[in-house]
Amino acid sequence: MAFTVGEVLRRARDALRDADIDGAALDARLLVAASLAIDPSRLPLESDRAVSDADLARAMALIDRRARREPVGRILGTREFWGLSFRLSPETLEPRPDTETLIEAVLSWLDAAGRRHDRLSIADIGTGSGAILVALLSECPQALGIGTDLSQAALQTARDNAARAGVGDRALFARMDHGDALGGGLDLVLSNPPYIRHDDLAGLAPEVRWFDPRLALDGGPDGLRSYRHIAATVGATLRPGGMVMVEVGADQAGDVEEIFRATGFEFAFRRRDLGGHDRVVAMQHHVV
C-alpha cells in the first residue's frame, strides 16, 4: 500500500521527535520536501499525493541522517544566509543567523555615512563559505573584496558561492594566516573568527561538534586567540579611519574591545543580536 505525502511527513516528524531533535516538525518538512522535490510551502497542497517506495526510502534515509544529529543544511548541502543560498562543504562552517548581525552592522554604518555605493575595499578574515563577503558584495554594488582562510577547500567553496551569487568578478579568495598577507588601503576588515574556548568544545551540541570543522570553532584556551592576532596585524592593512568589525561570543565584547584598544584602535560601536547579546564589536583605526 502506497503512503501519501501527509503520511510520510507524519512518519518523518515522529521519527525526529523520538530522536529528541529540536524543531522536529520543521526539519521533517524541509527534508521530506527536498527528497520529494516539492517546495516546502506546497506540502499541504500535495498531502494526498501517493509516494513511491523509492521516494519513501529516500525521504526516510534523510530523516535517519537528521536523527543521527546531522544538521539539515549539511544534509541538503546548502544553507540560506542573508537571503542567499550558500553551498557547504565539510571544511566550511554552516553560516549562522547571528552572523547576519555583522552584515546589518556594516550596512547601517555605511548607510549612515552615505557610503554604500562607494568603491569600498573589504576583507573578510576566515571567510569559510564566503557568507559575510558575498552577502556584503551583493548589497554594495561597487565594493571589491578579499576573503582569507587557512583551508583551501573552504576557499574553493567560497569562490563557488561568490560566482553563484553573481559577485565572483568582485571577489578574490586567498589562503593565508588571518590577514597576514593582505595589502594596504582597506576600508573595512570583517571577521567571524573561531571563538569557542578550547575546553568548551566538548560540550557543544553534536550538530556543531561532529559536523562543523574544528578549525572554524577552536579559539584557543580563552577563545580570544584570533582577535589578538587580528588586532596585532590588521592596522597595517587599513586606511586611516578604516574600520574593523568582528563577531564575538556572547560574553566576549569587553575583552575584544580591550584587545583592539591595546593596539591603538578606538571603540566605535557594539551591536546586539536578536537574543540581546552583544554580537558585533566595531573598532576604528587611528583617525588622522
Q: Which is nearer to ligand SAM, 15 or 215 (CB)?
A: 215
Place of cell 577552536: 218
Provide the angle, in degrees to the nearest 10, between the axes of the packed helices 5-18 and 24-35.
140
Nearest one of 258, 259, 249 to 229, comparing CA atoms? 259
Nine-digit cell at 134?
A: 558575498
Q: Which is nearer to ligand SAM, 3 or 195 (CB)?
A: 195
Q: Whole-number minimum distance, CB 10 to ligand SAM, in Å?
A: 34
Helix (H, G, I), strand (E, B) or coil at 58: helix
Q: What residue type is assigned to position 174 of the chain?
A: A
Q: Whole-number minimum distance, CB 128 to ligand SAM, in Å?
A: 3
Q: Which is nearer to ligand SAM, 109 or 173 (CB)?
A: 173
Q: Whole-number minimum distance, CB 263 to ligand SAM, in Å?
A: 17
Let me know: does 117 contact 142? Beta carbons within 8 Å.
yes
Q: Which is nearer to ligand SAM, 29 or 279 (CB)?
A: 279
Dihedrals phi, psi of 25, to nearest 5 degrees: -65, -45
How many other C-beta atoms are found inside a 10 Å radius of the C-beta of residue 35? 22
Q: Whole-number minimum distance, CB 156 to ligand SAM, in Å?
A: 12
Q: Given the rule CB under 6 A, which residues bind ligand SAM?
A: 93, 95, 99, 126-129, 131-132, 148-151, 154, 177-178, 192-194, 215-216
Q: Which is nearer to ligand SAM, 50 or 250 (CB)?
A: 250
Q: Whole-number minimum distance, CB 99 to ligand SAM, in Å?
A: 5
Q: Whole-number minimum distance, CB 270 to ligand SAM, in Å?
A: 18
Q: Which is nearer to ligand SAM, 55 or 73 (CB)?
A: 73
Q: Where are the alpha helices (DSSP H) in 203-270?
A: 206-209, 214-217, 225-233, 253-261
Helix (H, G, I), strand (E, B) or coil at 180: coil
Let me know: does 113 contact 105? Beta carbons within 8 Å.
no
User: What's the CA gap between 208 and 178, in Å, rounded?
Assistant: 22
